[in-house]
Structure 1
């Protein structure tokens, strides 16, 4: 297909990552994104041409053959030539659009020959990335404040994360997508990628970035209360820089491995638990533990956090059997993180039970030994 990447004077789309009103799509940085861009431009040109011709003929007929000019209306039918023309022209237009569209769709779906594979799991409301060939995994959370500020020192409003998906340029990256709770959608316009992540299903897509840089997107599926707060950041680096990042990531991951048999003191658990709570639980249960009436229960003064310690461990580890909004955190957090956040919940906001949950208790609970 001929390159048709022109800046068109028509407002097309306000994509993720745009700070001010701009026209047309984001600048494409992958072959798939370029094919989408070119296809969009081609269809726009075809549409403009049809509009000009049809309205041109219509206004010519209205003006040239108006009654005040002495024209008399005439009817015609069964004109073979006209019928052939108005059948052939739409057919040619359809073929002209269908051929490049089919090529673009087939290119999007062809994930064979990948250089690396990353599993992407959507959660309410964050993303988990697992580098399946490298044994590296981490969560990606929103970091910019939600206070209405259009831009912060930390980066674009609602589009900055603590952990970006880092990939090498010039390599075909296959994404395997799923979700742990509800349907999400992984969408980065500049990469030409938009794929739903569906619980219980595995979908895949791919991209190969040409140019190093930061490319931003968002969840494009209405996935719940904080749908607008789960951005996507892809950090494309040269292969050499990517290898340096990967080596450092593996070292950091090894350093974070904690002894599940370590006995923690309450102040240590409270400090660790507060961080885990603010990163994962605050959206539903609020900073003060008050919850959201009618949607998410309060933790401050509740029975589950003040008396029922085994029940508290079970619901955090396995989720709620009565309310699907309470996710199972067992697959998302480590034994130490779970022990810390449960201990925090039992001693914050005036609960003050003095209860301590140790990582070994979480380890036992995973085996059904609460």
Structure 2
């Protein structure tokens, strides 16, 4: 009894401390919930098709609510007022033709009524004819490639990569306003113009999705699929890859900037000026320090997600580059690995993603970074020669 009493007193002493911690935990949860954005509906639509989808969604929601309330009201009434304790006995009939016809015909009529607006919306979503602008969108692990095929921007081509700093991803810095929904180069389109999107992929299936446009289309390797939108309001609209596409699926945002025609024309002129300014001379001879500075940027944007900023990788799927046999071995084999990838592994081919200069720079960086102090200089001409094989 004495031992029981002592334990009981110890328990009583612990209760206030436990209660305090519990209250503190609840307050922390509730304060976090109070600061969260509690949004219970679709994003604000900014295209005619998206508005139709929004209206159809709202209509069906209320249809479902009415059916739900009606069915469960009958069930609840039957359970409460026709229970055995009230003196009711179970019915002995086995069928009722009128009831059976009713529960067949009424749902059929509801489905027919829903089918007309739904089919009309789907037909509009698939009508990609007569676009003002066509953009090819290519999915890569894990970024998007944009290529303007028609219009004033025809020929403009670039990669769009996640811009959220690694410090935020690794919880070393506070999360930004658009955490994991920001890119270095968004897709830019003019307001009020019909934009046709052609989607494909270089490796696995991705999905290009922008909820505010009611656009969600798979990007499938070896196939071209299309969709379209006509944004009615200027602004920045965000989405994500909506297909499980690998390790960094959650780090593949879609950002579209809708601007006025004047701003779009200025953007196109700027892009073409930049393209002319950075037009590569494959015969240019680069110094090692120039290559390493450029290569570090290319590595951060394209390789660090898998092989890590410190080159240690995530074995066994993503091997370390620091001290790697490939990196420390013959440079031709290293270059060919980056250019052509490695079938059957997560190592993608970068021939279509990076220029000769980019590949030369990133390989030179890998062979001279961390403990890989090989002191080798790799020129773009070497990469061009390997591509031609």
Q: Same fold (TM over 0.5)?
A: yes
2:155 corresponds to which residue?
135
> Of the candidates 143, 151, 154, which is equivalent to residue 175 of structure 2?
151
Residue 322 of structure 2 corresponds to residue 300 of structure 1: yes
Deviation, structure 1 residue 227 = 0.9
Contact (CA 8 Å) 1:126, 1:140: kept in 2 or not?
A: yes
1:172 corresponds to which residue?
194
Residue 354 of structure 2 corresponds to residue 343 of structure 1: no
> Of the candidates 123, 135, 143, which is equivalent to residue 126 of structure 1?
143
Contact (CA 8 Å) 1:150, 1:157: kept in 2 or not?
A: no
TM-score of the superposed pair, with normalisation by structure 2: 0.86
Deviation, structure 1 residue 245 = 1.0
Which region of structure 1 is more displaced relative to structure 2, 79-88 or 179-188? Answer: 79-88
SS in 2 for 1:127: strand
CA distance in 2, matches of 1:346, 1:126: 24
> Of the candidates 73, 96, 105, which is equivalent to residue 88 of structure 1?
105
CA gap of 1:183–1:19, structure 2 versus 1, over 3 A, is farther
* Larger Rg, first or second structure (1 or 2): 2
CA distance in 1, matches of 2:108, 2:174: 48
Deviation, structure 1 residue 19 = 6.5
SS in 1 for 2:182: coil
Deviation, structure 1 residue 178 = 0.5
CA distance in 2, matches of 1:62, 1:278: 64
> Of the candidates 234, 244, 249, which is equivalent to residue 212 of structure 1?
234
**Residues 100-158 of structure 1: per-residue CA shift (max 9 Å, x gap):** 22112111111112111000000111101000121101111111121345632xx4111
Deviation, structure 1 residue 306 = 1.8
Structure 2 residue runs of 5 or longer lacking an equivalent are 1-34
CA distance in 2, matches of 1:341, 1:74: 80
CA distance in 2, matches of 1:227, 1:186: 12
TM-score of the superposed pair, with normalisation by structure 1: 0.90
CA gap of 1:117–1:311, structure 2 versus 1, over 3 A, is same
Residue 268 of structure 2 corresponds to residue 246 of structure 1: yes
2:355 corresponds to which residue?
334
Which region of structure 1 is more displaced relative to structure 2, 177-186 or 282-291? Answer: 282-291
Structure 1 residue runs of 5 or longer lacking an equivalent are 1-17
CA distance in 1, matches of 2:48, 2:357: 44
2:61 corresponds to which residue?
44
Structure-to-structure mapping, 1:268-347, within 5 angstroms: 268-321=290-343, 323-347=344-368
Q: Is the helix fraction higher in 1 or 2?
A: 2
**Residues 16-36 of structure 1: per-residue CA shift (max 9 Å, x gap):** xx9622111111111221122
SS in 1 for 2:75: helix
SS in 2 for 1:26: coil
Residue 235 of structure 2 corresponds to residue 235 of structure 1: no
Residue 345 of structure 2 corresponds to residue 357 of structure 1: no
1:4 corresponds to which residue?
none
1:13 corresponds to which residue?
none
SS in 2 for 1:195: strand
Residue 132 of structure 2 corresponds to residue 115 of structure 1: yes
1:5 corresponds to which residue?
none
Deviation, structure 1 residue 243 = 1.3
